[in-house]
């Protein structure tokens, strides 16, 4: 007979709601009303450390410290760029790395979060895709990115008002944890959430069609889709996930998402020289957007050693944009922030993983994934 020993896992403070925390406190013989005090520290003060919860008795602070998991990832490095972005490389409890990018604008501050360590989807232009998949991040690990970044910008007198799921990983491949996270981000502070507006939390997907429909039914947030091509053969070449969910399925899912939510969709389109930014592709893109209320972000590719792609010339970028604009499709040209500190998707964590495991040169770069929602 095999005896299986299971070590009970402590609940993480960032994954406890009022009723769960109340039940835990009562099981310790503590008054239930303390739960609201504790959650107020977390969600209003962004304090995820019981020793600092000064209105709690010392005995309770000790019980909290030992009975609940308060771990926040260590800020392994923090790199700031001239354009006001800061890239945080965070070390998880399992010793793996994830990254988050703070994006400072005149009128808002955004955070780009990771949802996985690595990614399964192997987009040909993406650093994270080259690394492969390590694991999903737990909801508390995604929320911790917000809590840590929030403390940094609070000290500058700013508030993190926007969140984009455009860091490492495909958020809809880690569906349940991402939905839990988004719900916590959207809950008002008085109800123990981070109080963000649903228009200011954007889930960005490479096109997992059935999960897009699930998302519309489960939570009201903004949606961005990494499109990059609107011809199956070309999109499959750039994004292998297109083989599983071809454009016809993706378009159907977007139509359904829009019918349920009534919201506009952001389509991200990297412009790659001699690949996807000629007149033919512009016409295909116009056809794809027909019937959708969508904005297209055009992102000139940033060339990088090790990748066979190049940035198109300015004339080609302008011609592509003009073709869309003349057909009343809003198509701003966006440039990534923080590229000088490796702010592109998965780039910094990828470098760290390379350093640790001596993976041979995988320095792919993509100029996407740090786009704010206007």
Looking at the annotation, which residues are catalytic? 99, 345
In the complex with ligand SF4, the residue whose CB is nearer, 180 or 347, is 347
In the complex with ligand SF4, the residue whose CB is nearer, 147 or 238, is 238
| Neighbour tally for 20: CB within 10 Å | 12
Candidates 138-146, 167-175, 195-203, 319-327: pick the segment binding ligand SF4 (CB under 6 A).
Answer: 167-175
Q: Which of residues 41-80 bind ligand SF4 (CB under 6 A)?
A: none
Taking the complex as a whole, the smallest distance from the CB of residue 328 to ligand SF4 amounts, in Å, to 28
Taking the complex as a whole, the smallest distance from the CB of residue 69 to ligand SF4 amounts, in Å, to 27
DSSP helix/strand/coil, 19: helix
Q: Which of 15, 30, 141, 170 binds ligand SF4 (CB under 6 A)?
A: 170
Taking the complex as a whole, the smallest distance from the CB of residue 70 to ligand SF4 amounts, in Å, to 29
Taking the complex as a whole, the smallest distance from the CB of residue 3 to ligand SF4 amounts, in Å, to 40
Each residue 123-162 as x (binds ligand SF4 by CB under 6 A) or -, in order, gives x--x-xx---------------------------------
In the complex with ligand SF4, the residue whose CB is nearer, 42 or 343, is 343
| 345 scored as a contact of ligand SF4 (CB under 6 A) | yes
Nearest-angstrom CA–CA distance, 150 and 75: 13
Q: Which of 206, 242, 289, 347 binds ligand SF4 (CB under 6 A)?
A: 206
Question: How would you label 67-99 residue by residue, b for 16+ Cβ within 10 Å and e otherwise?
Answer: ebebebbeebeebebebebbbbbbebeeebbbb
Cα-to-chain-centroid distance, residue 106: 22
Taking the complex as a whole, the smallest distance from the CB of residue 229 to ligand SF4 amounts, in Å, to 13
Each residue 108-127 as x (binds ligand SF4 by CB under 6 A) or -, in order, gives -----------x-xxx--x-
Among residues 50, 70, 89, 53, the alpha carbon closest in space to that of 10 is found at 70
Cα-to-chain-centroid distance, residue 34: 33
Total residues contacting ligand SF4 (rule CB under 6 A)? 14
Q: Max Cα separation, the chain?
A: 73
CA distances (Å), 262 to each of 181, 223, 250, 341, 359, in order? 22, 11, 17, 37, 45
Helical segments of 134-246, H only: 139-154, 175-186, 209-218, 232-238, 241-244
Asked if residue 203 lies in contact with residue 211, where contact means CB atoms within 8 angstroms, the answer is: no
- Residue ranges in contact with ligand SF4 by CB under 6 A: 119, 121-123, 126, 128-129, 168-170, 206, 226, 345-346
């Amino acid at each position: 007979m095999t005896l299986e020993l299971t070590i009970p896992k402590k609940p993480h403070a960032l994954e406890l709601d009022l009723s769960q925390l109340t039940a835990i406190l009562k099981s310790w013989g503590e008054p239930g009303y303390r739960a609201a005090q504790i959650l107020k520290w977390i969600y209003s003060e962004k304090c995820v450390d019981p020793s600092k919860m000064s209105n709690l008795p010392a005995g309770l602070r000790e019980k909290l410290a030992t009975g609940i998991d308060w771990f926040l990832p260590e800020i392994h490095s923090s790199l700031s760029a001239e354009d006001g972005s800061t890239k945080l490389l965070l070390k998880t409890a399992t010793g793996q790395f994830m990254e988050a990018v703070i994006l400072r604008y005149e009128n808002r501050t955004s955070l780009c979060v990771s949802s996985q360590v690595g990614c399964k989807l192997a987009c040909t232009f993406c650093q994270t895709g080259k690394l492969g998949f390590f694991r999903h991040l737990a909801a508390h690990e995604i929320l911790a990115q917000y809590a840590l970044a929030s403390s940094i910008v609070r000290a500058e007198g700013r508030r993190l008002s926007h969140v984009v799921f455009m860091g490492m990983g495909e958020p809809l491949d880690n569906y349940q944890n991402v939905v839990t996270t988004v719900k916590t981000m959207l809950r008002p502070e008085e109800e123990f959430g981070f109080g963000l507006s649903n228009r200011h939390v954007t889930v960005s997907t490479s096109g997992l069609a059935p999960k897009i429909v699930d998302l519309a039914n489960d939570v009201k947030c903004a949606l961005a889709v990494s499109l990059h091509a609107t011809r199956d053969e070309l999109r499959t070449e750039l994004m292998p996930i297109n083989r599983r969910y071809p454009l016809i399925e993706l378009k159907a899912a977007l139509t359904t998402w829009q019918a349920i939510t009534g919201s506009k969709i952001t389509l991200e389109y990297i412009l790659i020289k001699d690949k996807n930014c000629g007149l033919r592709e512009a016409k295909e893109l116009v056809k794809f957007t027909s019937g959708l209320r969508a904005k297209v972000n055009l992102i000139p590719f940033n060339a990088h050693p090790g990748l066979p792609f190049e940035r198109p010339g300015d004339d080609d970028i302008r011609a592509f944009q003009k073709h869309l604009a003349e057909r009343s499709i809003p198509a701003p040209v966006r440039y990534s922030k923080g590229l000088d500190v490796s702010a592109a998707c998965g780039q910094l964590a990828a470098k760290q993983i390379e350093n640790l495991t001596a993976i041979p040169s995988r320095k792919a770069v993509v100029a996407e994934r740090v786009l704010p929602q206007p």
